Chain A
Amino acid sequence: MSNSNELETRPFAVSLEVGSSLLNKTGSWRTERPVYVDRLPPCNQACPAGENIQAWLYHAEEGNYRAAWDELMKNNPLPAIMGRACYHPCQDSCNRAQLDSAVNIHAVERFLGDLAIREGWSIDFDAVPGGSNVLVIGAGPSGLSAAYHLARLGHKVTIREAGPVPGGMMRFGIPKYRLPREVVDAEVRRIVDMGVELELNRRVDDIPRALSEEGFDACFAAIGAHLAKKVDIPAPDALKILDAVSFLRAMETDAEPLQLGRRVVVYGGGNTAVDVARTVRRLGAEPVIVYRRTREQMPAHDFEIDEALEEGVVVNWLRTIKESDGQELKIEKMALDDKGWPRPTGEFETIEADTVVLALGQNVDQSLLTKLEGVALNKDGVVEVGPDMMTACPGVFAGGDMVPSERTVTVAVGHGKKAARHIDAWLRGDRYVPAPKHELASFDRLNTWYYTDAEQAVQPVLDDIRRRTSFEEVVAGLDESNALFEARRCLSCGNCFECDNCYGICPDNAITKLGPGNRFEFKYDYCKGCSMCATECPCGAIKMVPEQI
């Protein structure tokens, strides 16, 4: 009150100035406080290439495809390839699958990759001058990925590839009806355009000499595994026996198509066996897969087996090949024992076969390793590396199919990135320590009421007849509107996507909205700790923690 006269002129009982409730700090009532958290989305956790999938979908949701692609390229230099060849473990773990169906992440990745090729996008990177010289051996997915990441980190990279074309198993392992070669060419070219030196038909036999005499400071070996495993089938010369790797390679390099005859038996149950059978089908022959276990036990991916069956590939489960008289194969029926192992039954049958293709797996060529002290193949036929991807020989790192891992393009790309970061740190005499992982954003963290039902957008598939007769790509991409729809199906598990729910529903107006991209902030002076914001957050990005009292 400023002066007493004023007090006297006021009506009776209005003796105090009007004050705002803001003077009353209700935050003191609280026993728990809400905090904004970032949780690890299951897709990101599942990605062998370590992509931040949710982050690039976030940009794609806005139709900002360039920003989405840039985010994607931080971890994966080959999105158009991976959008076709990856077996998308991200979608197997997608929380949306428990709501209606998983987000078709794979198709959006492909859309972005194809768009980048069409638009001729290249990445902006601030290469720090004065980096080191790094030798990458092998231009497969792992080598290309390592080269790309090392170049982004400012190093001068030389890739030496023994073969005549880059791509490795992306070209010699994956048939072109799954991965058109123009896509491989375009994405490899983009890496070369970053200043990576690519030397073809250049086999490396002596790593220590390359390091000591050619001025390389470190080496990343990613030679893959391309020596076919063999099995002896007693047979006269009339029967043609090939291995899957040579067969698929010949498809790429030979001018003349292979003479296979009419009936081709493919022996094995992995993805390579299925790829061979589907290729054979397209060459006009009749493929039969012979596999010694059941369909459920086949290592090949289910959708690939389905696609093969749709195309008329015949599969004989629980069979092994015994011998051949040149015309017919004698095969033995197998039965599973109580441990699930296939056992011979002594029952035989015969099938016609003009050619047998062995798809029984591949080994690593160890000739490269002979000059490296302390480095050898382990009992599984692969090279042991540490958590930093370094072999027992300092400065020599390895990745891809030649080290213990699942043999897929995605894993290889992940190895390349990981090795690049460790090589970069090692060259600086440092250690690369990855950022700690957030807690998983599991389905029970979500409040799914807020998400509209929306089934997955389906990718068009080539019709049956053309699939049996041509090498055209089987699965087509999404168009722009479908890709946008698909991106928007993302639930943004565990990370705020600024839906304004917390800001709107706080009964105490105790949240400040910081504007686009900046999320929100709690006003702990007023927050009573009712936890409504945490309950109603759609994506589980708010956590209640006990107050220290």
Chain B
Amino acid sequence: MPQVPETQQRVKFYQTGTFTVGNRLLDDTRRTVQASVERSNSLDSGHRACQGCGEALGARYAVDAALRAADGKLIAANATGCLEVFTTPYPQTAWGLPWIHSVFGNAAAVGAGIAAALKAKGREDIRVIAQGGDGGTTDIGMGCLSGMFDRNDDVLYICYNNQAYMNTGVQRSSQTPPAARTATTMPVDPEPGNAFNSGKSVPLIAMAHGIPYVATASVHDLHDLEYKVEKAMGFRGARYIEIFVPCPLGWGSKPGDTIKVARLAAQCGMFPLIEAEYGELTSVTKIYQRQPLEEYLKLQRRFAHVLKPQNAHQLEALRDIANRNIRKFDLLAAPEDVS
């Protein structure tokens, strides 16, 4: 009789591919951090995030993976935003690691300061992350972030991108996609929702700084996310990861659909998953099963007006964005790559 592990090595098929969190047919060492009963749960139960919060999920995924990579020696600086508010209503905390909050826009600077202090004390074994939402990172914190990249401070900055200021009541940020409804970009004529040709790509800005590592990840693909965090922790210097985290409240999606929405965003081309080292694009995660843009949009009330006949031009303009992403990052797998 063949032994079980030997059999598994020979037959390269594990019932659920590489998308489920765990897989009883895989060796423990090849499963995700989240599959382990020993995971840190760095962001623990009892936090006050909404039902189905993508950011709470993304933060636990990322920080647990970073903690494992840093052997448990990790300090976090946090920007103002949902993540800060729902985890630390005084005097409680949901965090299982040393964690500091200062003001809205300076998490990158606080992280850089901690890293400098640790260096001065000769404790470079202790690693530093800074984190925040898209508002605190890409709008208000942009100057501090660029400075951190410029000085190549030894900090991994993680941006949880939910595409608006959710904590204060869903106002537009530089990450809000065109046509999306927010409290400040209402769906009113003649051009309902957020304006086209606005916003910015911070991963590309980070790449322009030539920092050691830049990546985008999403809560729907845990294996990819953990791989990127672990890889980022393997570098010294400034690193940037942007994680796509759907917000049921701000996007008008069902709490149960958070992962589904994230998956569709990647599969329709609206959120490309990429990696870059020292300013050079090194890999893209190919679209596995291409999905129509409408499948992504129809789960979210912020895009409800886009699917009405009179706004067909908005739908087509969004489709252009998705198609441009697919071309620009070469997101479609060649037929022979699909297995």
- Set of chain A residues within 8 Å of B289, measured between Cβ atoms: 449
Q: Are A536 and B259 within 8 A (Cβ)?
A: yes
| A501-515 contact mask (Cβ, 8 Å, vs B): 1 or 0 | 101111111100101
- Set of chain A residues within 8 Å of B60, measured between Cβ atoms: 507, 509
Whole-angstrom CA separation of A480 from B47 in the bound complex: 49
Whole-angstrom CA separation of A488 from B10 in the bound complex: 13
Whole-angstrom CA separation of A485 from B15 in the bound complex: 9
Q: Closest residue of chain A to B5, judged by CB?
A: A63
Whole-angstrom CA separation of A526 from B255 in the bound complex: 16
- Set of chain B residues within 8 Å of A536, measured between Cβ atoms: 259-260
Q: Are B260 and A535 within 8 A (Cβ)?
A: yes
Whole-angstrom CA separation of A452 from B12 in the bound complex: 11
Whole-angstrom CA separation of A481 from B259 in the bound complex: 34
Whole-angstrom CA separation of A523 from B3 in the bound complex: 37
B39 to chain A, nearest CB (A): 9
Q: Are A63 and B56 within 8 A (Cβ)?
A: no
| A527-547 contact mask (Cβ, 8 Å, vs B): 1 or 0 | 011111011101000000000
Q: Are B21 and A26 within 8 A (Cβ)?
A: no
Q: Are A451 and B21 within 8 A (Cβ)?
A: no
Q: Are B41 and A451 within 8 A (Cβ)?
A: no
- Set of chain A residues within 8 Å of B41, measured between Cβ atoms: 509
B92 within 8 A of A: yes
A499 within 8 A of B: yes
Using A450-B17, A500-B35 as known contacts, say yes or no to A508 and B45 having CB atoms under 8 A apart: yes
A66 within 8 A of B: yes
- The A-contacting residues of B in range 224-282, CB under 8 angstroms, are 248, 254-260, 263
Using A498-B22, A515-B37 as known contacts, say yes or no to A488 and B11 having CB atoms under 8 A apart: yes
The answer, among B15, B92, B254, for a CB contact under 8 Å with A489, is B15
- Set of chain A residues within 8 Å of B102, measured between Cβ atoms: none
- Set of chain B residues within 8 Å of A535, measured between Cβ atoms: 256-257, 259-260
- Set of chain B residues within 8 Å of A500, measured between Cβ atoms: 20-23, 31-32, 34-35
Whole-angstrom CA separation of A526 from B49 in the bound complex: 12
A516 within 8 A of B: yes
Q: Are B7 and A63 within 8 A (Cβ)?
A: yes
Q: Are A532 and B17 within 8 A (Cβ)?
A: no
The answer, among A18, A25, A450, for a CB contact under 8 Å with B19, is A450
A185 within 8 A of B: no
- Set of chain B residues within 8 Å of A193, measured between Cβ atoms: none
| B35-71 contact mask (Cβ, 8 Å, vs A): 1 or 0 | 1010001011111110111101100100000000000
B304 to chain A, nearest CB (A): 21
A64 within 8 A of B: yes
A244 within 8 A of B: no
Q: Are A507 and B21 within 8 A (Cβ)?
A: no
- The A-contacting residues of B in range 15-31, CB under 8 angstroms, are 15-25, 31
The answer, among A454, A510, A530, for a CB contact under 8 Å with B255, is A530
Whole-angstrom CA separation of A490 from B23 in the bound complex: 14
Q: Are B45 and A26 within 8 A (Cβ)?
A: yes
9 contacts between A and B (CB under 8 A): A17-B91, A20-B44, A22-B44, A29-B51, A499-B16, A503-B35, A509-B43, A534-B256, A535-B259
On A, residues with C-beta under 8 Å from B are 16-26, 29, 61-66, 119, 449-452, 454, 480-481, 484-485, 488-490, 492, 497-501, 503-510, 513, 515-516, 523, 525-526, 528-532, 534-536, 538
**Supplied contacts A26-B45, A503-B34, 17 more A-B pairs, CB within 8 Å:** A19-B91, A21-B45, A23-B46, A24-B47, A26-B48, A449-B289, A480-B7, A504-B32, A506-B57, A507-B52, A507-B258, A508-B45, A516-B24, A529-B51, A531-B254, A532-B52, A538-B16
